[in-house]
Amino acid sequence: MRYEPVSIPEKFSKFSEHYRPKVIAQMNDYQFKLARVQGDFVWHSHEHTDETFLIVEGELTIEFRDGQVKLKQGDMFVVPKGKEHRPRAAVECKIMLIEPAGTVNTGDAGGEMTAPDDVWI
Amino acid sequence: MRYEPVSIPEKFSKFSEHYRPKVIAQMNDYQFKLARVQGDFVWHSHEHTDETFLIVEGELTIEFRDGQVKLKQGDMFVVPKGKEHRPRAAVECKIMLIEPAGTVNTGDAGGEMTAPDDVWI
């Protein structure tokens, strides 16, 4: 039987849009998603789940109503369930998101930045 | 409120043992664990869960009864629930494991390579 690694750099080379997460792997009912982000995202929260950000390349700020966290390559952060947050990046940043399958990128906020769910690459 | 990133390189600097996973973050009931691995681990499987390997530095081979997968920095692989596997690394490799809290490193095999569970760093 032939088993293939999932290469994060190789997967990033396959898309260029911003704020459009792509699924690269699934573990039980959780998915690993890659995204390129640049500019300000929308304020939102995820009512039913924590959400994990892992910085693959670049710098990302996650704003909260009562503070912020600045993340760089090799950093990770778990945004607690129900906590309002807004990711932003002055220049393009590559991130991995880990969250339950079916988690919508804009959470409770909706709107035009809502990306199609469950898009594999 | 002050929020702190979880720095993967900084966490790795805090321990040196092999095959002793350390928890660095939790998302819902899943944990992110760092491990330094070198040499052959034991054949084992996890009856109730998939297990994710992400290679932070170095090279890791995961053997299966019917094949193997060779992973390098930036690669990831999800070992399916119930699938027998044996990680091995000729030279030290740094990995991140993502799996449900309570997952024992040796799964169904037990033995002297079994590490204490839920050790945070």
**Contacting residues for A86 by C-beta, under 8 A, at least 6 apart:** A40, A41, A42, A43, A44, A62, A63
List, for residues A10-32, the tens digit of each pLDDT value. 999 999 999 999 999 999 999 99
Q: What is the token pair recorded at B6?
A: 């979880």
List, for residues B14-46, the tens digit of each pLDDT value. 999 999 999 999 999 999 999 999 999 999 999
Pairs across A and B, CB distance < 8 A: 100
* ipTM value > 0.95: yes
What are φ and ψ of residue A6, in 5° steps?
Answer: -100, 110
Determine whether the interchain pair B68/A3 forms a contact, defined as Cβ–Cβ distance below 8 Å: yes
Q: What is the token pair recorded at B118?
A: 């839920």
List, for residues B48-66, the tens digit of each pLDDT value. 999 999 999 999 999 999 9
pLDDT value at residue B29: 98
Model confidence at A2, pLDDT cuts 50, 70, 90, reads: confident
Given a contact cutoff of 8 angstroms between Cβ atoms, the answer to whether A57 and A67 are in contact is no
pLDDT value at residue A111: 95
Q: Does the pLDDT at position B99 exceed 90?
A: yes
Q: What is the token pair recorded at A8?
A: 């994060």
- Beta strand A59-64 with A67-72 is antiparallel
Q: What is the token pair recorded at A94?
A: 């590559």
Which residue does chain B place closest to A69, by CA atoms? Answer: B3
Q: What is the token pair recorded at A14?
A: 């396959």
Distance of CA A106 to the CA centre of its chain: 10
Look up the pTM and report it.
0.97
Kindly list the residues of chain A whose beta carbon comes within 8 Å of any beta carbon in chain B. Answer: 1-9, 24-28, 30, 32, 49-52, 62, 64, 66-72, 74-78, 81, 98-100
Which residue does chain A place closest to B71, by CA atoms? Answer: A5
Instruction: Report chain B's mean pLDDT, rounded to a whole number.
Output: 97
Contacts of B26 in chain A (CB under 8 A): 50, 78
Determine whether the interchain pair A30/B30 forms a contact, defined as Cβ–Cβ distance below 8 Å: yes
- Best A27, A32, A99 member to test B by mutation, with max B CBs in 10 Å, is A27
Query: How far, in Å, CA of B121 to CA of B63, rounded?
Result: 28
Given a contact cutoff of 8 angstroms between Cβ atoms, the answer to whether A26 and A101 are in contact is yes
Determine whether the interchain pair B64/A1 forms a contact, defined as Cβ–Cβ distance below 8 Å: yes
